Chains A and B, each alone.
Chain A
Amino acid sequence: MRHIPEDELHAYLDQGLSRSQCVEIESHLAACATCQANRDGIAALRDRTTALLAKLAPPRSFPVSFETLRRRAAMDASVRRRRIHAALWAASLVAAVAAGWSAGLFMGPAGAARIATGPAAARPIARPAVVIESTGPTATPTLSLSSEQATLRPVRADSSKPRPARVRVRPTRQAAAPAQPPAAALQPMTPPPELELSSIEIPRAEGELEGMWRTMSWDGAQAEAGAKLPHIDGLPIVQVQVQATQQGKQPLMVVAQQLSSGEVIRTIEGPTTDVSHLLSRRAMSDPGPTVSASDSSAASPATPQDPTGHTMAMQRGDRMIAITGALPSDSLLAMIRRLNAEMRSK
């Protein structure tokens, strides 16, 4: 007589069998003492498992109202929409900055015209107009100067109010202004400027940072922090964020700076618990897509797939400084040592 296998008895007791299977098992059980004993043993095992697992319950549970979740879902949806807008905005900003920067390179230090060719313009003040073509957030901007507009003359020191270059960014491709010789027609730049979108996508930080964060000006943050803003000297500041901490202590600060490679590193300073909490949250949060031309080269050799980069932290009394960024850990180590020495000397 074939006895009922153990797993079938589990499934039977768990009501995981079809009606016909149940009937079959029940009729067998009615006649088989061995299987009855097995069934009772398994029933006891089930009960023990349930009892053991019951001990592994969280100490407390405070469900929020469903209405709260509904509001959060609605808010998330609108944040997603805003993020898309903001990403487009950031992309055009990056394109504008990159183009302005390269225009500066081409034109020389004083914005003076080495490209002062073309029909001599009678205008008293040179007004270079730069048109950037951009097909989308990740497009490589091409830069062209129309013959008429590229009438750059050296700006005399005594000339009244030299005007800055106008930079226009167009989201969609339009016909480039005809470049006629001997006008300066700048072809797509080689190498194209690297667009590091993910790093300057400012609204992302909103999602990553919890609590009451304020994005501040450098001066404002400095005033608040008492001239001890964590940062690496000599790098452009992308963003300064400050969160007040308890007991009127110095706030928690995050300074985002951009390396010449386009990577953004963040320097964090604050009470130890806040910083480690922030770092752990940061590591947990979805690293997100990195829309980046320089991504492959930026990935650290140790963990090539990890887009979040490395984190280096250092304890200073009851406070902690940390640097995060897609850099080799040795670089971060050097940076944090320098930072530590600088902050100590202040």
Chain B
Amino acid sequence: MSRLLRPAAAIAAKDLRLFFRDRVGLLLAFLMPAALVLAFGFMMQKAFGGEDGGMARAELWVVDQDGSAASRAFVDDLRGLAMLEVRPAPDDAPLSLEGAEASLRKGRAHHVLVLPRGFGDALAAGELPELRMLRDPGRSLEDTLVTIGLSSAYMGATQGRAWPAMLGRLLEQSGASPEAVRSAVAAAEQTRRLMEAALGRNDGKDAETGRAPEGDGGDDGQDGGSGLDFTAFMRDMVPLEVEDRLPPERAANLSHIVAQSVSGLVVMMLMFGLVRCATTLLRERDSGTLDRLLAAASPRDAVLLGKFLFTAASGLLQLAVLFTFAELVFHVGMFRDPVTLLVLSLSLTAAVTAFGMLIATWARSLEQANGFATLLILVMSAVGGAWFPVQLFDMPLPAEVAMRLTLTHWAMTGYQGMLWNGLGWTSPTLLTSIGVLWAFAVGASLLARRLFHRRVLPA
């Protein structure tokens, strides 16, 4: 055994020495992945929540043609919504319709809300003011955010005074006869007045904004005596009491998307890094040193084993550095269960190393190896969930099967289980992931050895 291990260890030590002397290699192995983890982690945290994050924000430009106190108040309500970034800013010059059209054409704006003249009057009259939206049709994500934000602000602005009219519109759209619509609207209006009366509130609201005077409590509905808070009503329409239950094993400030992006990027970059290490076998061949190794008085499998040991050692080192970095920057609770982390990382490193050796022994040239590996890693990362949480999507069966065939999926399942669900390595979920990773490691290693003897060793 030592006849095999001694030269293998010498090859691994030599490769590690060369690895640390190659500045470009070190950059690719450590700095670039760390920079990517940092950039994506912060971006995701900002966009989708976490300690300092919030909802993604969509930019909404507003053309206020009404210029009334009510329209200004409505715009202020829009500004108060977390999902909207309302433009122009309060201190900037108002936007004209022509300016908005030009911004849309140039792609500077994607949604422009036009508040037409008469907006305030309509509100004061208890009617539904007509709004107009100019938009770039290709921005569906922003469209969703703008629609949600606008609905919320609109309900708040009308303060229930418009809901009879809304009811009428609903009935019209549902095919009710004009007489039926008129009757229903009249009844609703009557009900609204009764409700206002019950709350001790008359219609003597601010004629301009349609809202209760300051201090009257009508806007926030907190005193329960004089206003109908439709925003809160919509939110509370479902009898739902929300209680937070944080798994004790999870870092308190960890958001799902950060756990996802950190582990996804680490897994993907590890694959790139280890393929690069494994393909030193091809570099040995190209530089002629492989012949010298194969002509030596050592078992030939020592060359393959040495490359495996080097690749695995550099993989564990990369994982240690990247996870430490992620912990320091994002406090993801990476080291809360060191045994599980070690078992998972060993399993992943073994599997990815075997994958790298398979590529290195299959390819006829470095270009072939790098090209094929890049393609495979990108596909596995996308399908396996390293880029985004694929479990959120309803995938067809073939895609589901493809996902389960990737190393990335099992690695992500393992790390997500540990970070997010606080699972230990003995849990069925993690044991499955670990088992699959080791099965791949053993299978791919055996295949790589076969390819090494058939394709790398001269015949």
Real complex partners, A and B? no
